[in-house]
Each structure stands twice: as C-alpha cells, then as structure tokens.
Structure 1
Amino acid sequence: MSTRQYGTFVVIGSGSGIGNHVAYTFAVKGFSHIIPLARNDWTYNRVCFFNAARIVLGGLLESVETIEENFETTNIALYIVAQWAIPRLRALSASSAAAKSSLLVTNSLLYANPIPQLFSLSLVKAAQCSLVMSLAKTFNSSGIHIALVTVGGAVAPEKLESKKYC
C-alpha cells in the first residue's frame, strides 16, 4: 500500500468488474476514501471494512501510554465506527430482501497466540476479537454480517498488488 495519502475517489459505476478493480487500485495507491456509486442491485450491498491498527515493537512491560494509544486506534475507533455504521447497515438490510450489508474487521491470530515483542498489539487484537464477536452475536440476526478477517502472518505489501492496471 502506498505511504502517500490522497483524498477521496468516487467510482461512478462500481459494479463487480472494472469499477471494483479500479477502486481497489486507487485505494492501494493511497486514496483514503473510496465512494462506490451504482445504479443496480449492487447499491444494496454495503461493506464497512475496518483495518486500523498500530504495529509497534515493544516488550511485555512497555509503557501504559503505548497500550492506551493502540487500544484507542484498534478498539475505541472500531467502537465509534460500529456506532455509526450498524444503524445504517441495519436500515439497509431492512429495506430490501436483496440488500446485503457487512461490517468486516481485520484481525490476526495474536488473540490466540500472542507474541511478547508485539504485546500491545496482541492485547488489543484480543480485545478487538471480543468486541467483534459481541457485535456479531448482537446484530447478525438483524441482517448484518459482522465478522473478523483473520490474517495469519505478516503482510507483505509487495504481494498485495499482484496485478498492474494502467
């Protein structure tokens, strides 16, 4: 993913083909806000994808401030996003039988297998897992798919962009 940050990218015609692929490419290149617009049933599918985390090497007895900052980034921010997104996703799901809505949250295996050098991240990912599972138990029955996207290892940015678009 690009370290350079750009603004908003609006995709008019965001179907499952070119529109999605172009939006993905612009997101990888550093656009922080992607707004998909479409004219058909695709508009009934909305996904709120939460991928915020701080990865800081440290030890088991690192500063409380580091843990607090990581907790705010990974859990408090997710909680605020959930407060905003869930009523909207629930309303969308109730609007049509064709409507599909999801809140997806990236996580890792650190909640089950903590790494002492990533103690703070391990701690907040365990809390995040608990939050997402609680949200799922509460809201999945109302038509919102709430789930973790579990990453089982280090992410290599050079492998994320397997295709080049021009």
Structure 2
Amino acid sequence: MTNTRGALVVVGSGPGIGSHVARTFSTHAFERIILLSRDPSRLDKDAEFIRAKTPSADISTLPIDLSKTSDIPSALAQVDKALGDTPLEAVLFNAARVGPSTLVEWPIEELETDIRIKVTGCYAVAQWAIPKLLAVKDTHKPAFLCTSGSIYKDPIPEVFSLAACKAAQHNLVHSMHKKYKEEGVYCGLVAVGGVVADENPQCNAENIANKTWDLYEKRNDLEVEIVDP
C-alpha cells in the first residue's frame, strides 16, 4: 500500500457538501482533485475554496450534465484526460436536483429527469469508475461514495421525486457494497437527514465532510447517517 494518494473525482460539486468533501480530501494528500458540475460558473469558486486551504492542490474542473445521458461518455472521457497518469482512488457522487415535487401533479418528464441525474447518472459513473478502482486495490484505498438522505427510507411526500430517486440510488450503492467490498473496493453512503446549513450542529457541510472522510478511512459500514437532534 503506497503512502501517495491518487485522485478524487467529485461528481456534483458545489458550495455545500461537494466542495467541502473535496477540500477535506485535499488536506489528506490526495494528489489530484477533479470537480464536475452542471453549473460551470460554480466550478472556479469551488476550486478557489479548496486552494485557500490547500494551495498546492492540483485541481481540474469540468462541466457535466447528467440529465443528458448521451453526453455522459464524452464528459467522462474528459475526466480520463484530466486524470492523466494519476490513479483514480475515490469518487464522490453528489449530483442531485433538489426542490419540491407534488405527488400526481409532478410531470412524468420531470421525474424522468431526476432519475437520469440521480440514478442513471450514478450508474454511468460507477460503470466508468469501478474498473479503475479495482485496478488500484493493491496499492491504494479505492472507494465509491455517494451522498444520500434519510428520505430514502422515510419519504417526504412534498419531495417524493427526490425521495424515490434516493431510494433507488441507495439500493444501487448497497448492491455495489455487497459485490465489491470483498474485491477490494469500498462503496458507501453518506445519508444526511436534514437541510445542509452552516448553523446546524450536525448537518453542516464541514461536519458532513469530516464524517465522509471517516467513512472512507474506516470503511466498516455501508453508511453513516448524519442528523441533527
């Protein structure tokens, strides 16, 4: 096992969990950080946020729109170029479209978009990432991590679309956990049971990032659940 960390790819970067997890991993000597988001205007700010803590961080930023399934392979090909010779060691899948969805009134097309982003997108990234992670299992600590929420098991009707997609996503990553843990790749979930806000004692981005690092390092369980009292 080498002391040199490889690359972290964050799919769904942003001012909350994504950039904070990337910053935390950068402080633990990850050689390269690659940030992906459907909002390109956010990416430079996220990179600056990480460099403020880790000036030496090697950061690449790339746009990706998981709602356009046919465009995902070309986006991931750009990630391959950004990786260069750096081995992929960890992936954080944090992509989501968060907002209200009214039961029965929510258009089918919108539900399908959510599924493409959160479920199909997660599966597409896993298809790309797992072979790379398996390839470094003897020299690194490969992991595929996914942010989730307590609504996968306790849905809120007002955001049923998000809840339904998180349930499917949880099932997918759970299957990956069962299959790949014995093969040397850890797959786990960070279940956030509340709104992410700086003022919350547990559900704040800094604490979530630290819990994500602990999950990555210890890799004892399928998931860590983070909730406020």
Shared fold, TM over 0.5: yes
**Separation (CA, whole Å) in 1 of partners of 2:28 and 2:43:** 16
Matched pairs, number: 142
* Misfit runs of 4+, over 6 Å: 34-37
**RMSD (Å) for aligned C-alpha atoms:** 3.4
**Separation (CA, whole Å) in 2 of partners of 1:36 and 1:161:** 26
Alignment counterpart, residue 102 of structure 2, candidates 55, 59, 64: 59
Cα 1:126–1:161 change in 2 (3 A) is closer
Q: What is the match of residue 121 of structure 2?
A: 77
**Separation (CA, whole Å) in 2 of partners of 1:121 and 1:15:** 32
Matches within 5 A, 1:5-154: 16=28, 29-31=45-47, 32=61, 46-61=89-104, 62-93=106-137, 96=138, 98-154=139-195
Higher radius of gyration, 1 or 2: 1
What letter matches 1:86 in structure 2?
Answer: I
Q: Secondary structure at the match of 1:77?
A: helix
**Separation (CA, whole Å) in 2 of partners of 1:69 and 1:51:** 16
Looking at both structures, which has the greater relative contact order when contacts are Cα pairs under 8 Å and sequence separation is at least 6? 1
Higher strand share: 1
What letter matches 2:28 in structure 1?
Answer: S
C-alpha contact 1:44 1:100 (8 A) present in aligned 2: no
Percent identity reads 35
What letter matches 1:74 in structure 2?
Answer: K
**Separation (CA, whole Å) in 2 of partners of 1:27 and 1:157:** 20
What letter matches 1:126 in structure 2?
Answer: A
- Deviation digits for residues 122-160 of structure 1 (CA, Å, limit 9, x no counterpart): 000000000001111111111000011111111126753
**Separation (CA, whole Å) in 2 of partners of 1:15 and 1:121:** 32
C-alpha contact 2:88 2:133 (8 A) present in aligned 1: no
Q: What is the match of residue 205 of structure 2?
A: 160
State the shift of 1:44 in Å: 7.3
- Deviation digits for residues 34-84 of structure 1 (CA, Å, limit 9, x no counterpart): 9799xxxxx778111100011121211111111100000001111000000
Taking structure 1 as the reference length, what is the TM-score of the superposition? Answer: 0.71
Say which is worse superposed, 77-86 or 131-140, in terms of deviation.
131-140
**Separation (CA, whole Å) in 2 of partners of 1:145 and 1:152:** 22
Q: Secondary structure at the match of 1:147?
A: strand
**Separation (CA, whole Å) in 2 of partners of 1:152 and 1:125:** 12
Unmatched runs of 5 consecutive residues or more in structure 1:
4-13, 38-42
Q: Secondary structure at the match of 2:133?
A: helix
Cα 1:135–1:59 change in 2 (3 A) is same
Cα 1:141–1:27 change in 2 (3 A) is farther
